A and B are shown apart, each in its own frame.
Chain A
Amino acid sequence: MMRRTVPVMATLSAVALALTACSSGAGSGGADPDDGGPITLDYWAWGTAQQPMVDAWNAANPDIQVKRTDAGGGTDSSAKLVTATRAGNAPDVAIVEYNTLPAMIVAGVAGDISEHADGLDDEFAPGVWSQVTFDSATYGVPQDAGPQALTYNKARLDELGIEVPATWDEFAEAAEKVHEADPDTYLTTFAPAEFGGFAGYAQQAGAEWWSVDGDTWTVDIDDDASVAVADYWQDLIDRDLVLAEPMLTPEWNAKVNEGEVLSWPAGLWAAGVLYGVAEESAGDWAMAPLPQWEEGDPAVGFQGGSAVVVTTSTEHPEAAAEFARWMGTADEASAAQIEQGQYPASLAGQELTLASDPPLLMPQQEDYWETAAEITRATIPEISWGPNVNVASSAFQDAMSTAVTDGTPLRDALTETEAEVVDDMRTTGFEVTQK
């Protein structure tokens, strides 16, 4: 089979080369890349911060022009990247969420940029850097970070006389008080489809869903820590103290606007998302560190955050890597991110936030960025994601939704998810041990 595939692939890529050569020639006014003329890079990225960043790059780099396409959010964009890579028309550079990056590597989307990554590791905290380094090869430049924090409706909590919880136990008590004070109001939401959020809570509790030793993967999605987290939320759901509904629906948005959902423990980007759905309540909100499982332990996990990867399809790996590095580390790029409420991944960018205004959702919270920096210092380093997070995420969403709808234990949903993940990895040919 291989022998027949290779010539076909060679022909296809020759055609693809010819086609891209034509199009880039036309796009850059007939200039040939080999002559040192301007080249055009295609860049897939979602989010409001990207276009200003790209514009700043284009203004400063007339020789390497970047054309940005919004190919949808994290899940959509990575699915399209895989398809486009197979079809031979993937962009040169793209944004990939940290938890999807391993899947993008095994799908042959993200290229190894180690040879263009000299000194890059000094620009980032080790925890962030470990998100883009696998088997001592570098596959991307971190752009934004999403350490988990508690974004809450301060005005409503003050009104109800409830203090910001510092531990998850206090959080449960607060949930009880909120619901007692106003039966229509919930302290927070447990959205069964929020894979990333749950993964973050579990990481904070010490879970390690994937780990790799030599060539062998170990998968343990229903480890003790994760089960404890599941049981914690189970209890809140059973006592009707949290809203067990999907979030960011018209229904949920209406509740947030009416002050009936009072907090969202999520990545730091939550401020931007909430501002999008509840702009009128800006000024009522504030951000605090995520509640802790044990008092005094400041550790938190990540939820979201993304890296800029250079694809294996690019014809300009060097230019693409240069652009990726700039997007992750340049001050101008960081400034554009901060303005849009993203938390930059680079140390310099995080330093820059301290001189910036708080996000639009909480313009009154002067210490927002100081708090963010403290939280970031406490994020757990060495979080490792497996090669099929897409499978885990889809299995988790369905299993959790069914558990919440049917009233079956959430912890069983974790076991189901793990079974599907292991099954998929074994079918693909990974060596897996299951705990």
Chain B
Amino acid sequence: MSAVTDTPPPAYRRARRRWAAPALFLLPAALLFVAFLAIPICYALYLSFRGMRMAGGGPFGVRQETWVGLDNYAAVFTDPELLAGLGRLAIYGAIAVPLTLGLALTFALLLDLPRVRGARFSRTAIFIPYAVPGVVATLLWGFLYLPSTSPAGWILERVGLGGIDVLHGPMIFPSVANIAIWGGVGFNMIILYTSLRGIPVDVYEAARLDGASEWDIAYRIKIPLVAPALTLTGLFALIGTLQVYGEPTTLRPMTSAISQTWVPLMLIYRDAFTRDNLSLAAASSVVLALGTLVVSVILLRVTQKRSFGES
């Protein structure tokens, strides 16, 4: 140290001091990041190149973990179920994402209207489903869907119309999406509503002086100004779609229409725990994570210019 203090280039010393404090403050976060994110990710990567293979001979030889190279990735990319799962996810997402965002935006705009009555109550009422845990919500909806336990089925039968079975065939997609929409609208609405409240009121006054109707204000001022929030909620919704797991898994015992590999995460779970193939599950997870990353980056790139006004 003395050598350093003897020939003190002041700029260097200042630079050192500037680095020490941030590094110290960053240390806890960095440690947590390494322990709970970096290491697990590396371990998953490592696992994805390993596999359980027969060690000794014999019909009941014990399997041991060995290096299998890209076998797992080959299996992932040739698995028709993963592709089919992504296809089902796309249908689900095509229903759930626009409806969730559309309803959330509609409710937020309605609540933001001047002199709207019962705003506080409505806001809470729309938000409450978000507070219901996903599994509970799914069970609740499951009972409503099953004809014998559903009050709707009971009424339809009394009226003379046969019950509608919403857990069969293509109806399964809106049925599952409905649960996510019911739970997700409130959360998205709050984000959009908060963003709306952040717009200065003078903008609206100026618009009104120019003769704009509430509709014009919503369409020409509010929506463009909350575009960053819309992008954010859209990104959340997209990632949420890729991570769908709880709702279909909880509904699965009630219907034959949901397989164990209905969506990619269910496939990963099945491989890891039902089929005891952690390595294959790790490989699928890596692929899915990279896919999510790519899709997110593309979405942000596409919307960046419009919503954040950056070039």
Contact = CB atoms under 8 A, between A and B. Distances in A.
B149 A430 contact: no
A107 B253 contact: no
Contact of B59 (A217, A245, A393, A424): A217
A397 B261 CA distance: 11
A53 interface: no
Interface size range of chain B in the complex: 35 or more
A246 B52 contact: no
B59 A212 contact: yes
A250 B254 contact: yes
Between A215, A249, A424, the greatest number of chain B beta carbons within 10 A of the residue's beta carbon is seen for A249
Interface size range of chain A in the complex: 35 or more
Given A1-B66, A75-B274, A250 B257 contact: no
A250 B149 contact: yes
B276 A401 contact: no
A360 to B, nearest CB: 24
B194 interface: no
Between B142, B254, B255, B276, the greatest number of chain A beta carbons within 10 A of the residue's beta carbon is seen for B276
A103 B276 contact: yes
Interface string B258-293: 011100000000100111100000000000000000
Contact of B274 (A251, A390, A404): A390
Contacts of A401: 256-257, 259
B253 A248 contact: yes
Given A102-B60, A106-B63, A430-B54, A394 B270 contact: yes
Contact of B52 (A79, A83, A391, A428): A428
A135 interface: yes
A251 B147 contact: yes
Given A79-B276, A102-B60, A108-B62, A428 B254 contact: no
Interface in A365-404: 387-388, 390-391, 393-394, 397-398, 401-402, 404
A107 B276 contact: yes
Given A390-B276, A401-B256, A429-B53, A105 B261 contact: no
A311 to B, nearest CB: 13
A248 B107 CA distance: 40
Nearest to B153: A251
B52 A249 contact: no
B146 A387 contact: no
Nearest to B256: A401
A254 interface: yes
A405 B256 contact: yes
B108 to A, nearest CB: 36
Contacts of B71: 427
20 contacts: A82-B276, A83-B273, A103-B276, A106-B63, A108-B62, A193-B256, A214-B59, A215-B58, A215-B59, A244-B256, A250-B142, A251-B146, A251-B147, A251-B148, A251-B149, A394-B274, A394-B275, A405-B169, A405-B256, A429-B53
Given A108-B63, A251-B148, A254-B149, 16 more contacts: A215-B59, A248-B253, A249-B146, A249-B254, A250-B142, A250-B254, A387-B59, A390-B276, A394-B260, A397-B259, A397-B260, A401-B259, A405-B169, A405-B256, A424-B275, A430-B59
- Which 10 A-B pairs rank lowest in CB-CB distance, beginning with the nearest? A429-B54, A401-B256, A254-B148, A251-B146, A398-B259, A212-B59, A79-B273, A249-B254, A429-B53, A108-B62
Interface of A: 1, 5, 75, 79, 82-83, 102-103, 105-108, 134-135, 137, 192-193, 212, 214-217, 244-246, 248-251, 254-255, 258, 387-388, 390-391, 393-394, 397-398, 401-402, 404-405, 424, 427-430
